[in-house]
Amino acid sequence: AFTFTRDESNDYTKKNKYKTPQQQYVKLFNKIQSVVPEGRRPTTPVRILATAGMRLISEEQSEEIYESLREGLESPFPYPILNISTLSGREEGYYSLLSSNYLLGIIDEDMRRIGGEGMVGSLDMGGSSTQITFDPEGAEEIREEGLFIHSYLGFGGDTLREVRGGEKRLFGTWSPPPP
């Protein structure tokens, strides 16, 4: 079985209580077991879509992590895992805009505007990237191609606060950490 660790400068196990990637998902899958009826579990598909943190590591490393996840989750849980992959920065921005506008009641489940209201833009700062997305044209049908989407890899909250050698890196400048 794959054991996920990193060197001392970027140690996953120090930041997280989990020692392997699948341990993070076991608790979630156990919760899903309580929601999805037993008879529907074999036909309830699962997609795991990672974001910028996985774009910062090599493709070989991410594939090893994904394979470990698949192996660790397929045997104890009856759900077909359709996809484990990494979203592009563009996809991450697109989904951020859709979810923001859906939750605000501006678009419906068919991605159509409700009541002619304009969409809100989205600035999504995650741990390892920031996405800025908006609709410059106000089109009736929301399609990824008509949106302004830009992803800034490495400009997430965690990466901007990353501490190295006792100093804090913020926007390319170095300053001592607060007392």
Question: Collapsing DSSP states into helix, strand and coil, what is residue 140?
Answer: coil
What gap in Å lies between CA 35 and CA 90, rounded to an integer? Answer: 32
145 is catalytic: no
Question: Collapsing DSSP states into helix, strand and coil, what is residue 164?
Answer: strand
Q: Which two tokens stand for residue 61?
A: 């490393």
DSSP string, 69-126: HHHHHHTTS---EEEEEE--HHHHHHHHHHHHHHHTTSB-TTSBBSTTPPPPPEEEE-
Active-site position among 63, 67, 92, 144: 92
Q: Which two tokens stand for residue 100?
A: 């923001």
What gap in Å lies between CA 29 and CA 82, rounded to an integer? Answer: 15
Residues that are catalytic: 92
